[in-house]
Amino acid sequence: MSTDTLRTARTRRLSRRVGRRLGRSDLLFMSVISLILAAVLFATLYPLYFVLIASISDPTAVATGRVLLLPKNLSLFGYEQILADSRIWTGYRNTLVYSVVGTMLNLVVTLPAAYALSRREFRPRRPLMLFFAFTMFFSGGLIPTYLLYKDLGLLDNWLVFILPSALNVFNLIIARAFFENSLPEELFEAAMIDGVDYFRFFTTIALPLSKALISVIGLYYLVFHWNDFFTGLVFVRDYDKQPLQIVLRDILLSNQAFSGGAGGAGGSGGAYGQRYADQIKYGVIIVSTLPVIILYPFLQKYFEKGVLIGSVKG
Amino acid sequence: MSIGTTTGTDAASRRPGRTAAPPASGAERRGPVARMRRHLGRYWQLWVMLAPALIVVIVFAYIPMYGIQLAFREFDPTKGLTGGEWVGLKYFRQFFESPLFWDLMRNTIVISLSTLVLGFLAPVLLALVINQILHSRLKRFVQTVTYLPHFISIVVIVGMLQVFLSPETGLITRFLALFGLDDINYLGSTTAFVPVYVLSDIWQHTGWNSIIYLAALAGVSTHLYEAARIDGASRLQIIRHVDIPALVPTMVILMILNMGGVLATGFEKIFLMQNTLNLPVSEVIATYTYKIGILSSQFSYSTAIGLFNTVINFAFLVLANQISKRVTDTSLW
């Protein structure tokens, strides 16, 4: 293994040296690549940066295009309005509860099942895998689901955010592939000789060795719950139970927002009111997306790992 | 390390023979009941571990599938999911004959196909470009940045579209006005809806979707690059003859998977971007099912439309898989 890495390192150095000797057409090529990369980076980051500076600038300066690189005439009007709005904080609290409880349930359901499906000597695992995978491509559709939830008493019930999404088959496949490829088989053999059963092996040996996997699928589930909008839209009417995304929809998209606050400003003239409404929107985008953006750079390697673990087995 | 893994695979391949074969032959003599008992005796713990997942899938995926028969029945509130009188294909006929049918089909196909084609090529191109970066810290940085939008919620994405494209004051509106593209209301226009939808989708997901291609490129042997360079290949030729062939198997698998979604446009984003002005091009099967079913409670009709959609998707998936199996020898099953 170590000689192999040594060799690739050497060839890489070699090929880079070969690369230096390349001619003018390659120079042109590299400049084109650099230009494309710069454009991609700009197109990805600037919109997010603009939202940030727009949220703390004077709305009129934003609307007339005088805020481009730096914030102008600092104004925290949007954030004041947001802080005063109880809907956002109720939504935040709900989403936090649904995400944390939901993700824990997700892990409790997904990990043991994935482990069972990863055991090679367990004959039914192939048909069972098909049984799970089929649901990725075929579903009952919206209305049968809705009527079922109605029968089960899940409509307007906070459990609807947690129970139906307790298992994601894609994450199940990732977890199974991880257990299959990353747990050395002799570990299991040795444990079996010591009289360890499946339960004990899973909890005392497999799980402690699977921290990377648990982080990956835990994060996938967490992001799913944080961004879940559909469940609240279709299955919940009671506003006190709505998650952040529904509240965001109402503020960002329906313009029914802040009838008390910015709506008052809106009363004094259409375009003028629109500016203030826009500033609240910029602020809301920041407030709702900040947790994800702050955590993201630290967690990114785990997200990426998930894709790679999953692709091992197609 | 390498010694450890060889014994591991050896043990794994030996295992079924040693543990499963002798009991199986013994059990066959005693019939299926005894065999079942033996299986459960050995594996009941695995079944316990599977139970929660099985229950979730059965209750929340298979029972609704059973409820699909509602599409062929009259909905009866007292009988719920399966009840009501059998009406056969009445609701399918109603849908096919509805004046909305062709509009819905056209809108759904236009939106999903343009997302499919453009959204399919962009990550490949991005991966090829990122793969050219030699400086590893810079490469990391580019990857981190381009993955980021994937995690922003759809509501926020559509919210950003609204402020950026708002008439006169929006950032993008003002930028495009520099090129003479003024007095267009990008949010409420039948011509701008699809481009806005597709481009924002590409903005959000290209980076993330390129991961899998970057992994495939990382697996290309350095000897291939070396040989190509010694033969005097330019960088463009290396991309053409080394990089792209390395990506083809991954591209095929992803294409098949995407085919399963030909009529599966993302409900949430379209629903959020809809308004009365763009409705002629933005009403798709998914949003129509929601409105007909949840908002106006025509349960049977909505179920029929949903089933039609699912069946078409499933058929496309199977078809794409068959074609690929024959042409490229790659397939899902």
Q: What pLDDT score was predicted for residue B53?
A: 97
Rounded Cα distance between A92 and A245, Å, is 9
**Contacts for B165 with CB less than 8 Å, ≥ 6 apart:** B172, B173, B186, B187, B196
DSSP-derived 3-state class of residue B73: strand
Which has the closest alpha carbon to B47: A170, A187, A198?
A: A198
Q: What pLDDT score was predicted for residue A255?
A: 60
Retrieve residue B38's tokens.
């033996």
Helix (H) or strand (E) holding B44: helix B21-57
Q: What pLDDT score was predicted for residue A262?
A: 41
On whether the CB atoms of residues B204 and B157 are closer than 8 A, the answer is yes
Closest alpha carbon within chain B to A184: B8
**Contacts for A76 with CB less than 8 Å, ≥ 6 apart:** A56
The number of residues making up chain B comes to 333
Put simply, the answer to whether A18 touches B230 (Cβ < 8 Å) is: yes
**Chain A residues close to B80, C-beta within 8 Å:** 147, 150-151
Q: What pLDDT score was predicted for residue A13?
A: 55
Region of A124 on the Ramachandran plot (φ > 0 left; ψ -120 to 50 alpha; else beta): alpha
Retrieve residue A290's tokens.
């900040």
Rounded Cα distance between B165 and B175, Å, is 10
Sequence letter at residue B293: G
Q: What pLDDT score was predicted for residue A39?
A: 95
Q: Using one digit for the tens of pLDDT, what is the confidence trace for B120-154?
A: 899 999 999 999 888 888 988 898 899 889 889 99
Retrieve residue B246's tokens.
């390395």
**Contacts for A295 with CB less than 8 Å, ≥ 6 apart:** none
Put simply, the answer to whether B43 touches A311 (Cβ < 8 Å) is: no
Q: Using one digit for the tens of pLDDT, what is the confidence trace for B269-314?
A: 999 999 889 999 999 998 999 999 999 889 999 999 999 988 888 8
Any B CB within 8 A of A196 CB: no
Q: What pLDDT score was predicted for residue A85?
A: 85
Specify the higher pLDDT residue, B325 or B87.
B87
Taking all residues of chain B, what is their mean pLDDT, rounded to a whole number?
Answer: 83
Any B CB within 8 A of A254 CB: no
Q: Which of B15, B67, B294 sits opposite A148 (nearest CB)?
A: B67
Q: Using one digit for the tens of pLDDT, what is the confidence trace for B53-103?
A: 999 999 999 999 998 889 898 888 887 777 788 888 999 999 999 999 999
DSSP B101-115: HHHHHHHHHHHHHHH
Rounded Cα distance between A203 and A196, Å, is 11
Which has the closest alpha carbon to B56: A127, A108, A207?
A: A108
On the question of pLDDT at B51 being above 70, the answer is: yes
Any B CB within 8 A of A12 CB: yes
**Chain A residues close to B11, C-beta within 8 Å:** 185-186, 189
User: CA geometry: angle at A196 spanning A192 and A201, to 5°?
Assistant: 95
Put simply, the answer to whether A278 touches B166 (Cβ < 8 Å) is: yes
Position of tokens 């961004």?
A227
Q: Which of B15, B16, B57 sits opposite A135 (nearest CB)?
A: B57
Cα R_g (chain B), whole angstroms: 27
Q: What pLDDT score was predicted for residue B252?
A: 84
C-alpha distances in Å from residue B207, one per residue of A45, A262, B167, B213: 12, 37, 29, 10
Residues of chain A with pLDDT under 70: 1-23, 255-273, 306-307, 309-314
Instruction: For residue B20, name the pLDDT band (cuts at 50, 70, 90).
Output: very low
**Contacts for B54 with CB less than 8 Å, ≥ 6 apart:** A113, A128
Interface subset of A 80-109, CB within 8 angstroms of B: 108-109
pLDDT above 70 coverage of chain B, percent: 87
The number of residues making up chain A comes to 314
- How large is the average pLDDT for residues B36-49? 92
Distance in angstroms between the alpha carbons of the first and the last residue of chain B = 33
Which has the closest alpha carbon to A234: B299, B75, B295, B279?
A: B295
ipTM value > 0.90: no
Put simply, the answer to whether B70 touches A45 (Cβ < 8 Å) is: no
- How large is the average pLDDT for residues B188-217? 90
Any B CB within 8 A of A209 CB: no
DSSP A20-44: HT--HHHHHHHHHHHHHHHHHHHHH
Q: Which of A36, A44, A152 sits opposite B145 (nearest CB)?
A: A44
**Contacts for A72 with CB less than 8 Å, ≥ 6 apart:** A57, A58, A61, A66
**Chain A residues close to B19, C-beta within 8 Å:** 121
Q: What pLDDT score was predicted for residue B282?
A: 92
Rounded Cα distance between B298 and B192, Å, is 32
Distance of CA A196 to the CA centre of its chain: 37
Residue B69 per-residue DSSP state? G
On the question of pLDDT at B238 being above 80, the answer is: yes
pLDDT above 90 coverage of chain B, percent: 32
Any B CB within 8 A of A142 CB: yes
